[in-house]
Amino acid sequence: MSAADTVVRTDRTTRPRAPRGPRGQRIPFARALGPLLLLGIWALASAVGALDPQTLASPGKVAATAWGLLRTGELEHHLWVSLQRATLGLAFGLIAAVVLALAAGLSRIGDALIDGTAQLLRALPILAMVPLAILWFGIGEEVKIILVALGTFFPIYINTHASLTGLDLKWAELAQTLGLNRRQFLLRIVLPGSAPGFFTGLRLAVTVSWLVLVVSEQINATSGIGYLMADARTFGETDIIVVGLVIYGLLGLGSDTLVRLLERKTLRWRTTLG
């Protein structure tokens, strides 16, 4: 192992582990406790009549409606369409965000040309751009995917760019001392150092993707969970609306969990309390 590898890549067997007290012990399925508590309050309020079924259907009614939609295959169809839109939009937003963040974070010229524009556009509400997006891209599938891509771009870009520009100057001095070339400096120091910020942005982006999707799927759509909810709203079917909300919530929780697992696997070199 070279001297550079010895300094930059810390051996996991020799790195001291963070102390774990009672708060550091993980409880199995701990993240499900909050949703289960919310479900219990909802069921109790429905059982005692505190919630009007016309205002908010009971959990039993929602479960029965979801099962009926599953049996007919309607829910599966709409869910698959929504997953495709969200995945494509997130992929395009992620690629654009990483490329532009690297260009702005590693070059003063790139920072001058890109970051100011990105910060300006970030201040614009994504949903307020829907009318303009429709004029530019029409009312087909493209506008739905583009809106999701725009919504997911900024969290990833902002956090990745902040991590890149926030790296301690001592690492650049260390790389110069060890004789690392630009490529080695980028691969061994810059990218690992900015990875935590990237994953923070990615966690925010996967949540934003579902928030933007529920609105974009009401733009001349004939399929998707958002379309299913909009159609149910027309007929006052609160049970179907809640089914859609529950699905969006589960998709958000599931995608965030996947990103957390990927982050934990990728950043195993970090010493944290969590």
Is pLDDT at 14 greater than 50 in this prediction?
no
With respect to residue 45, please indicate whether it lies within any of the assigned structural domains: no
Q: Looking at this protein, which amino acid is placed at residue 95?
A: I
Per the structure, the complete domain to which residue 259 belongs is given by 62-266
Does residue 103 surpass a pLDDT of 90?
Answer: no
Q: Tell me which residue of 39, 44, 68 sits closest to 240, measured CA to CA.
A: 68
Nearest Cα residue to 227 out of 238, 237, 239, 214: 214
Q: What is the structure's pLDDT at 41?
A: 86
Q: How many domains would you assign to the chain?
A: 1
Say if 233 falls within a structural domain: yes
Helices 191-216, 225-234: inter-axial angle, 10-degree rounding: 30
Element (H, E) at 110: helix 108-110
Could you tell me the pLDDT band of residue 96, with boundaries at 50, 70 and 90?
very high
C-alpha distance from residue 187 to each of 5, 123, 165 (Å): 12, 32, 16
pLDDT of residue 4: 44
Query: Residue 112 contacts by C-beta under 8 Å, 6 or more apart in sequence?
Result: none
pLDDT, tens only, 188-225:
777 777 788 888 899 999 988 888 888 888 777 788 88
Q: Tell me which of 16-25, 61-70, 138-147 is least confident.
A: 16-25
Above 60 in pLDDT, residue 10? no
The kind and range of the H/E element at 83 are helix 74-105
Chain centre distance of CA 267: 18
Query: Do residues 165 and 197 touch, judged by C-beta distance below 8 A?
Result: no
How do residues 24-54 score in pLDDT, each as one tens digit?
Answer: 555 556 667 777 888 888 888 888 877 777 7
pLDDT at 42: 82
Interval 217-266: pLDDT, tens = 877 778 888 888 888 888 778 888 888 888 888 888 888 889 888 888 87
- Whether residue 246 lies inside any domain: the answer is yes
Share of the chain above pLDDT 90, in %: 12
Where does the pLDDT of residue 92 fall: very low under 50, low under 70, confident under 90, or very high at 90 and above? very high
Pull the structure tokens for residue 79. Answer: 């869910």
- Identify the CA nearest to 191 among candidates 202, 182, 179: 182
Rounded (5°) CA angle 96-99-104:
115
Instruction: Count the Cβ atoms, other than its own, within 10 Å of residue 15.
Output: 11
Question: Would you place residue 93 in the very low, low, confident or very high pLDDT band (cuts 50, 70, 90)?
Answer: very high
| CATH number for position 146 | 1.10.3720.10
| Residue 57: inside a domain | no
Residue 140 neighbours by CB distance under 10 Å: 12
Q: Is the pLDDT of residue 174 over 80?
A: no
How is residue 129 written in tokens?
């751009």
Mean pLDDT across 94-118: 86
Percentage with pLDDT > 70 across the chain? 81
Instruction: Give the residue with greater pLDDT, 55 vs 64.
Output: 64
Query: CB of 196 within 8 A of CB of 159?
Result: no
Please answer whether residues 256 and 207 qualify as being in contact, where contact means their C-beta atoms are separated by less than 8 angstroms: yes
Cβ-contact 196, 268 below 8 angstroms: no
pLDDT at 273 over 50: no
| Residue 185 covered by a domain | yes
pLDDT, position 6: 42
**84 belongs to a structural domain:** yes
The contacts of residue 267 (CB under 8 Å, 6+ apart) are: 195, 196, 199
State residue 31's pLDDT score.
Answer: 66
| N-term to C-term CA, the chain | 30
1 or 44: which leads in pLDDT? 44
* Residues near 146 by beta carbon (within 8 Å), at least 6 away in sequence: 89, 92, 133, 137
